[in-house]
Amino acid sequence: MATAQSVAYTSVASLNDLSKKTNTDVMAAIKIKTEEYEWFDDVPDEDIIPSGNEMRLVLNITRQTGTAMIPDGGYEGVLGTVAPQHGTFTFVQANQRYSFTTLAKAYDAKGRAGFIQRQVLYQAGKAVEAIAETIGLQTYGFSTGTMMVVAATNGAGATQTGIQVKNAFGTTLVPGSATADKTYVSSLLRNGEGVALVRGSTLQDFGLVVASPSAGSGVGYIDITFNGSVTPTVADLIVKANAVTDATITATDTNRWPVGLFDAATSASVHGLATTTAANWAAGYTNTTGGRFSFATQEAMINGLWNNGGVKMNRVIYSQGVRRDVIAGERAALRYDSSSFDFDGEFGTKGLKYLTSRLAPTAMVFACNNQAYMKKVLSDKPAMDGGPDIFSLDKVQDRGSFAASFDFIYCKCVNNRAGIGYASGLTEQ
């Protein structure tokens, strides 16, 4: 019996060489900038001439005494004027680089129609993203450059999984005991970040962050692959380390950060001037009792900065969890008509600018007058959408490749520590 011819259907897949491969534009699928990078523009510029020798902050920091109430014809008051004191500061230099080949350069010159986005434009944007993250972290940290502290000793080995960490930026004010703290501390480093393990002032080894938080242990832990065998030990420091070639501690961020808010508000010495030398060289308000950040606490902070620093508080930085708790507390105290209930949850105080971000330390509020904490910049701060033109190019010797480099040089100056305050251990939601 005859069999009929089978029907053959031509699929798109069988002729897919006739179709083009198509793409969308490059989409931002993650958050690529920090709020602190934008806040940086709001920080006033320090009025000082940059110098390669010594730059001093001259501080009127000692209160004058000696007024005498005298009888008619009596002896007059004692003679004397208290002298000002000074601190010193230096600039810090953040360097970010990327590379591209001579072939990529040729494609950029003659084959741009083949790009979804120019390769060098994409690379420049990612480089600025890394700079923005660094500036965000340095908003809060210490000049020591510490990112976190090892909380428990691990066994020896190059592949270190589940390193328990604590004390964000090296401060016990963010200890890493509560879940929110653990989440915060272990989120400060990005996967692929170069780091170093430092014990006291001695470099142990360099490594790369594999997972932060740890893939196996979760928040409060990180995974790092080191170049050689190490034994992470309680109180060891973890710092960033992304410089090439140098195999000493100078290749790390150790002691290369600017003065951040924790430094300005809590350190025993800032800009080389210690509170033991100048008792008034201290934060104008401190509160470590915890609880809700209420408007009463805020008023106490306002009073502290005015009474001690002689300035009006006009900036507040608080964690997102503290902000949520403040909203919950203030809204619970309101009486409202449910038909006109405003779900935005906004609140404010006249004259104060409230700021928050994912990098704002957990359970913390920092406050200041913006003239108490200023900056000086020696290079233009690149825009987040800045292109490759801001990078200087160097031909890599003996290789068909170029290195693109950008240096951001700046400092943070504390003019009035009494015009800065903080509260810690606050309730979060």
Structure confidence by residue, pLDDT tens digits, 359-410:
999 999 999 999 999 999 999 898 887 789 999 999 999 999 999 999 999 9
Spatial separation of the C-alpha atoms in residues 138 and 331, rounded to whole Å: 34
Residue 370 lies in a domain: no
Residue 213 lies in a domain: yes
State the DSSP string of 24-41: -PPP--S----HHHHHGG
Q: Work out whether strand 269-270 and strand 273-274 pair parallel, antiparallel, or are unpaired.
A: antiparallel
Which of these ranges, 28-32, 159-163, 227-231, 245-249, has the smallest mean pLDDT?
Answer: 28-32
- How high is the pLDDT of residue 162? 97
Angle, to 10 degrees, between the axis of helix 119-138 and the axis of helix 102-110?
Answer: 110
Over 80: is that where the pLDDT of 330 sits?
no
Residue 12 lies in a domain: no
| Phi, psi (deg, nearest 5) at residue 230 | -135, 165
pLDDT digits (tens, 9 = 90+) for 409-427: 999 999 999 999 999 999 9
Residue 235 lies in a domain: yes
Quick one: average pLDDT of 191-219? 97
Strand ranges for 194-328 from DSSP E: 194-199, 202-211, 221-230, 237-240, 269-270, 273-274, 285-287, 315-318
- How high is the pLDDT of residue 341? 43
- How high is the pLDDT of residue 342? 47
Instruction: List the beta bridge partners of residue 374.
Output: 413
Residue 212 lies in a domain: yes
Give 343's pLDDT tier (boundaries 50, 70, 90): very low
| Phi, psi (deg, nearest 5) at residue 320 | -65, -35
Q: What range defines the domain where residue 188 resides?
A: 144-256
CA distances from 219 to 177, 206, 309 (A): 11, 22, 39
Over 90: is that where the pLDDT of 329 sits?
no
**Mean per-residue pLDDT of the chain:** 93
Strand ranges for 298-400 from DSSP E: 315-318, 353-355, 365-368, 373-377, 392-395
pLDDT digits (tens, 9 = 90+) for 386-398: 789 999 999 999 9
- How high is the pLDDT of residue 2? 82
Over 70: is that where the pLDDT of 310 sits?
yes
Residue 70 lies in a domain: no
Give how far the C-alpha of residue 165 lies from the chain's centroid of Cα atoms, to the nearest Å.
Answer: 18
Percent of the chain with pLDDT over 70: 96
- How high is the pLDDT of residue 339? 47
Percent of the chain with pLDDT over 90: 88
Over 80: is that where the pLDDT of 186 sits?
yes
Residue with tokens 């209930």: 341
Spatial separation of the C-alpha atoms in residues 3 and 352, rounded to whole Å: 87
- How high is the pLDDT of residue 201? 93
pLDDT digits (tens, 9 = 90+) for 243-288: 999 999 999 999 999 999 999 999 999 999 999 999 999 999 999 9
Spatial separation of the C-alpha atoms in residues 186 and 209, rounded to whole Å: 11
- How high is the pLDDT of residue 347? 64
Over 80: is that where the pLDDT of 137 sits?
yes
Residue 410 lies in a domain: no
pLDDT digits (tens, 9 = 90+) for 70-95: 999 999 999 999 999 999 999 999 99
Residue with tokens 């404010």: 348
Residue 318 lies in a domain: no
Over 90: is that where the pLDDT of 348 sits?
no
Farthest-apart Cα atoms in the chain, separation:
144
Residue with tokens 């963010």: 174
**What is the count of structural domains for the chain?**
1
Q: How many C-beta atoms surround the C-beta of residue 357 within 10 A?
A: 18
- How high is the pLDDT of residue 331? 66
Over 80: is that where the pLDDT of 132 sits?
yes
* CA atoms within 13 A of residue 228's CA, in its CB half-sphere: 4
Spatial separation of the C-alpha atoms in residues 404 and 117, rounded to whole Å: 18
Quick one: average pLDDT of 53-61? 95
